[in-house]
Structure 1
Amino acid sequence: MTEAASEPTWFATLGPRLVAATRRLGEQTEFYGKSLAATGDAVRRYPGEVLRLIAEMGMGSGALAVIGGTVGIIGFLTLTTGALVAVQGYDTLSNIGVEALTGFLSAFFNVRMIAPCTAGVALAATIGAGTTAQLGAMRINEEIDALEVMGIRAITYLSSTRIIAGVLVVIPLYAVAVLMSFFAAKFGTIYIYGQSRGVYEHYFSTFLRPTDLFWSFLAALTMAAGVMVVHTYYGFTATGGPAGVGEAVGRSVRSSMIVTAFVCLMISLSIYGQSGNFNLSG
C-alpha cells in the first residue's frame, strides 16, 4: 500500500512530459529551420558532396546498385500499384457495364493520389532510412563532433546537402514512377483484360490533364523535402549506440510517412478543393 502511494501518478507526471515534448518540438523546428536556411550555402560550399549524394541516392551503392537503387524500387512499387488500378478498376466498372472508363481511372487516380503517395512511402523507406542510418552511425562514432571541431558546419555539410540531393533526385525518380504506373495500368487493361487499345487511350488522353501532372510533381517535391528534413534530424540526434540508431531509423520512418500523408492531403485539398476540379459529362 505504501509503495503504491509513493509511486507518481499519471497526472503528476503529465506536466514534465508536456514540457519535455514541447522542448523536443522546439529543438526539432530549430533544426529544420537551420537545415533549410543553409541549403544555398551548401550548394556554394559543398557542390561535390551534393553531386556525390545525388548519385548515391539515385542508383544506390553496394548490392543495392545491382537492382538500380531507388530507381528500381520506386519503379517496381508504382508498377504494382498501377497494375492494381487495372485489376480493381476494370472488375469494378465491368459490374455496371462501363469498363471502358478504366483509362479514366488511370489518368485520374494515378496522378492525383496513388503515384505521389507510393513515391513518398518509397522515399521514406529507401533514401530516408538510409540517411538516418548514415548520420546516426556518424553521430555515435563521434564523426559529427570531429567535423565540428575541424570548423566544418555540420548541419550544412551533412543535413542541407542531403535535403538538396533528395529534392533533386526525386525529379527523375518520380518521372519513372508515373510512367511505370501508366504502363502497368495500360498493359493490364489491354493485354490481360482484352480491352480495345483505342478505347483505353481515348479515355486516358481525355482525362489526363497536364496541370494535374504539374501539381503531382509539386507534391512529390514537397514530400521529398519533408522526408529528408525529418530523416536528417533523427540521424543527426541519434543516441544510445547501435540500438539507438535502429530506434532512430524506426522513428524517422514513422514520422516521415505521417508527413507524406499530411502533405498529400493538404496539397490535394488546396488544389482540388471540394469539387475536385473535375466534370464528367457524356
Structure 2
Amino acid sequence: MIKMLAETGRQFTFYVKVIAAVPRSLVRYWRHIVRLIAEVSFGSATLLAGGGTIGVVFAMSFVSGSQIGLEGFRGLDLVSLSPLSGSMSALVNTRELAPIVAGLTLAAKVGTGFTAQLGAMRISEEIDALDAMSIRSLPFLVTTRMIAAFFTVIPLYLVGLFASYVATRLVVVDLNGQSGGNYDYYFSLVLPPQDVLFSLLKALVLAMVVTMVHCYYGYTATGGPEGVGRAAGRALRTSIVLIMIVDVLLTFAFWGIHQELPGTGGGR
C-alpha cells in the first residue's frame, strides 16, 4: 500500500512538472515540437500515413457506430421509438464514442511508441547525457511530445466522429429502412454545436493524459530492453483505465449528472 501511494505521488509530481514546462517548451523547443508533429502526423505508418492510425480509428469508429445503430434501433423499436434513432446517434457518438476511440487509438499506436522511444533513451543513458549537458530532459522529451499529441489528436477525433455518424446512419436508414428525413431531423435537433466542442475538448484532455502516462513509464524505465517492454505494458493498461475514468468525469463536468435531451426540452 505504501509503495502504491509513493508511486502515485511520483506520477502526480511528474505530470505537474510536465504541464508546468509547457510555456518553456513552446518558447525554447518549438522547432522540436513542429518536427514531432510532422513525425507523428505524417511519418511512416503513424498517425496520418496510409495504413496507419487514421485507418485504425476510422475502422474502429465505423464498427462501433454500426453496433450503436443495430442495437440502438432495435431497442428503440421495441418501445415504438425508432424515429428517435437520429437523436441516439447524435448523443452517443458525439459525447462518448468518438473521444474514447481517439484516446484508445492514441494509446495503442502513438503512446506505446513514446514509451519505447523514451525507454530506449533511458536504458542507453541518453537522457542522463542530456541532463549532463544542462538540457532539461523532461521539457525537451516529454512536454514536447504532449504538445505534439495535443495537436495531432484533432484529425483523429474528426475522422472518428465522421465515421461513427456515417456508420450509424447507414445501419438505421439503409439497413433498417428508417426514413432518412426523419433521422436527419432528430439528428440535427439533438446535436447543438457546443456538444461537438465539448467532445473535442474531451479528446484533447484524453490525449494529454495518454501521452503523459506513456511518457512517464518510458522516462522512468529500468532493467534493459525487457524493462522497456514491461513499461510499455504497464503504460497501456494504466492509460486505458484512466481514459474511462477521465471520460466519465468530463461527461459529468460538461453535461451534468442529470442530463437533458437537447432541442426537445426533455431532461432527467
**Contact 2:57 2:102 (8 Å CA) reproduced:** yes
C-alpha distance in 2 between matches for 1:135 and 1:147: 12
Matched residue of 1:67: which SS?
coil
Q: Which one of the candidate residues 75, 87, 93 is aligned to 2:76?
A: 93
Matched residue of 1:212: which SS?
helix
| Amino acid in structure 2 at the alignment position of 1:182 | Y
Identity %: 41
Shift of 1:64: 7.7
**1:1-282 alignment, distance < 5 Å:** 18-62=1-45, 67-278=50-261, 280=264
C-alpha distance in 2 between matches for 1:96 and 1:60: 49
For the aligned residues, what is the CA RMSD?
1.9
| Amino acid in structure 2 at the alignment position of 1:118 | V
Shift of 1:234: 0.4
Q: Which runs of 4+ in 1 moved over 6 A?
A: none
C-alpha distance in 2 between matches for 1:231 and 1:243: 16
| Residues 148-198 of structure 1, C-alpha deviations (whole Å, 9 max, x = no match) | 222221101100000101111112221111111111111222222222211
| Amino acid in structure 2 at the alignment position of 1:235 | G
**Contact 1:39 1:160 (8 Å CA) reproduced:** yes
| Residues 75-104 of structure 1, C-alpha deviations (whole Å, 9 max, x = no match) | 221111111111111222222332222111
C-alpha distance in 1 between matches for 2:31 and 2:44: 17
TM-score (norm 1): 0.87
**Contact 2:45 2:53 (8 Å CA) reproduced:** no
Question: Structure 1 regions of 5+ residues with no counterpart?
Answer: 1-17
Q: 1:99 to 1:80 in 2, by over 3 A?
A: same
Q: 1:198 to 1:64 in 2, by over 3 A?
A: closer
Shift of 1:23: 2.6
Shift of 1:236: 0.1
C-alpha distance in 2 between matches for 1:241 and 1:53: 25
C-alpha distance in 2 between matches for 1:201 and 1:64: 31
Q: Which moved more, 1:239-248 or 1:70-79?
A: 70-79
Shift of 1:60: 4.1
| Amino acid in structure 1 at the alignment position of 2:227 | G
Matched residue of 2:217: which SS?
helix
Q: Which moved more, 1:244-253 or 1:88-97?
A: 88-97
Q: 1:63 to 1:203 in 2, by over 3 A?
A: closer
Question: Structure 2 regions of 5+ residues with no counterpart?
Answer: none
Matched residue, 1:13:
none
Shift of 1:273: 2.0
C-alpha distance in 1 between matches for 2:188 and 2:21: 42
